[in-house]
């Protein structure tokens, strides 16, 4: 009877989507050593098999995906990413549709237009007060 229960428990564990470090790294588009480094830096302990192999679940994948976004796309430092992770458990990340990549020349032009707009708003405020 005990063997049947253990077998069923093992089967239930297998039903959860789990990844080994190689599959997780491939899904994220990084090398395995990057995952190990992030585990160490962000105090993350992966579930391990009796043989010591790392296993990750879907929520782990999402957490690593968020870390990658902070570091690679948003330009956070490790310290900044750690702070972001500890200050907000459910951060909002802008999708690619809401972000704009512009070159330096366009950024200068944008900044100049923004300053002009700000000055116009100040003038308008003076008129209506």
Domain that holds residue 126: 100-129
Same domain, 12 and 68: yes
Residues 74 and 122 in one domain: no
pLDDT at 14: 46
Spatial contact of 61 and 24, defined as CB atoms under 8 Å apart:
yes
Q: Residue 32's pLDDT is what? A: 93
CA distances from 32 to 45, 93, 107 (A): 15, 25, 36
The CATH number that applies at residue 60 is 1.10.1660.10
Do 114 and 78 fall within a single domain? Answer: no
Average pLDDT of adjacent 10-residue blocks, the chain of 129 residues: 51 65 93 93 87 89 93 91 75 45 66 80 84
Contact of 87 with 46, CB cutoff 8 Å: no
Same domain, 23 and 40: yes
Residues 42 and 79 in one domain: yes
Give the burial string for 69-103 (b: 16+ CB within 10 Å, else e): ebbeeeebeeeebbeebeeeeeeeeeeeeeeeeee
Instruction: Give me the pLDDT at residue 91, please.
Output: 47
- Do 68 and 125 have their domain in common? no
Total domains in the fold of the chain: 2
pLDDT tens, position by position, 81-118:
988 888 755 444 444 444 455 566 666 777 777 788 88
Whether residues 80 and 124 fall in one domain:
no
- Does the pTM surpass 0.95? The reply is no
């Amino acid at each position: 009877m005990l063997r049947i229960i253990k077998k069923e428990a093992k089967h239930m564990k297998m039903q959860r989507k789990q990844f080994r470090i190689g599959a997780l790294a491939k899904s994220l588009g990084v090398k395995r050593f990057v995952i190990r480094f992030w585990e160490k830096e962000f105090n993350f302990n992966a579930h391990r098999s009796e043989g010591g192999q790392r296993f990750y679940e879907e929520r782990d994948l999402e957490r690593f995906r968020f870390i990658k976004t902070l570091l690679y796309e948003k330009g956070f430092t490790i310290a900044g990413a750690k702070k972001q992770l500890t200050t907000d458990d459910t951060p909002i990340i802008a999708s690619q549709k809401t972000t704009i990549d512009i070159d330096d020349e366009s950024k200068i032009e944008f900044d100049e237009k923004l300053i002009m707009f700000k000055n116009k708003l100040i003038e308008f405020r003076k008129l209506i007060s």
